[in-house]
Structure 1
Amino acid sequence: MDDLDQELLAALRHNARLPVSSLAAMTGASRATVTARIERMVENGTITAFTIKTGHETRSANVRAIIMIEVLGKMADRVADQLRGMPQVRALHSTNGRWDFIAELEDRDLVAFDETLRRIRLIEGINVTETNILLRSRKSSF
């Protein structure tokens, strides 16, 4: 990836609906070059989706949290498969250090959230969890 690819990605992260003509004007590249670069990044997996973000007022989920998870022995793949199958798990990250996984959760209310936590803690292979409810987002990188 060169500087033009990086510049295109940065612009699309900010607004995935930018037309090719606007991207071309912003970068100084031709529309054909911008189109070819975006198509190449889609084909090679650099860009996997074009999406939208909604404001918090349009979300149906009222409770968001992160849960740090410690896994027993060699159970990480099995635990990850179980977590990925839960619609409340919006993102799942493997990490180093004390925790094996950090999951981002969303649920409609505290009662449903409590049930989600109970189900996660019952997954075979999970040893220890620590959960933090997210109160307010001050910056989002996505």
Structure 2
Amino acid sequence: MNLTDQQLIALLRDNARMSITEIASRLKVSRTTVQKRMEALEQEGIITGYTVKVRPGVESNRIRAWMSVTVEGTKATSIVQKLRADPAVYTLHSTNGKWDLLVELRSDTLENFNNILGRIRLIEGISNTETSILLSTHKA
């Protein structure tokens, strides 16, 4: 990736719906250059998709939580596959230290949230979990 690619990605991270014309203007390159660089970044797997950011609090009754997970032995790959397939798992991170995985969970009700916790705790190879419900988010 060159500097133009890095600047292009930064613009798309800020606003993935920005027009090709606007990106070209900001980068001081042609529209064709922007289109070719975007296609190349997609084909190389650097850009894997485009998304929408939703303002916190807009989604009503959304319960969010962080679950820290300890994995037994060498079962991390299997556990990650099972967690990735769970619709309640929003993000999944490998970590170092006391916990092996950090999982962001989302649910619409406390009852469903309780079911999610039970389901995840039953995954073979998970030896311990600790969950904290997110009460509010502050911009850094």
2:5 equivalent in structure 1: 5
**What's the TM-score, normalizing by structure 1?**
0.91
Alignment correspondent of 1:115: 115
Q: Which is worse superposed, 58-67 or 13-22?
A: 58-67
User: What secondary structure does 1:127 align onto?
Assistant: strand
Segments of structure 2 that go 5 or more residues without pairing to the other structure are none
- Give the TM-score taking structure 2 as reference length: 0.93
Identity of aligned residues (%): 43
- For 1:32 and 1:45, the matched residues in 2 are separated by 20
Work out the number of aligned pairs and report it: 140
In the alignment, the residues of structure 2 paired with residue 78 and residue 44 of structure 1 have an alpha-carbon distance, to the nearest angstrom, of 27
| 1:36-76 residue CA offsets vs partner (Å, 9 max, x unmatched) | 11111000001000121223454355100111100011111
Runs of 4+ in 1 over 3 A off after TM superposition: none
Deviation, structure 1 residue 13: 0.5
Partner of 1:87, secondary structure, is coil
Q: 1:61 to 1:126 in 2, by over 3 A?
A: farther
Cα RMSD after superposing both structures: 1.5
Equivalences for residues 33-44 of structure 1 within 5 A: 33-44=33-44
Unaligned runs of 5+ in 1: none
After TM superposition, give the deviation of residue 21 of structure 1 in Å.
Answer: 0.5
How much has 1:30 moved relative to structure 2?
1.2
Hey, what's the Cα distance between the residues in 1 that align with 2:18 and 2:47?
15
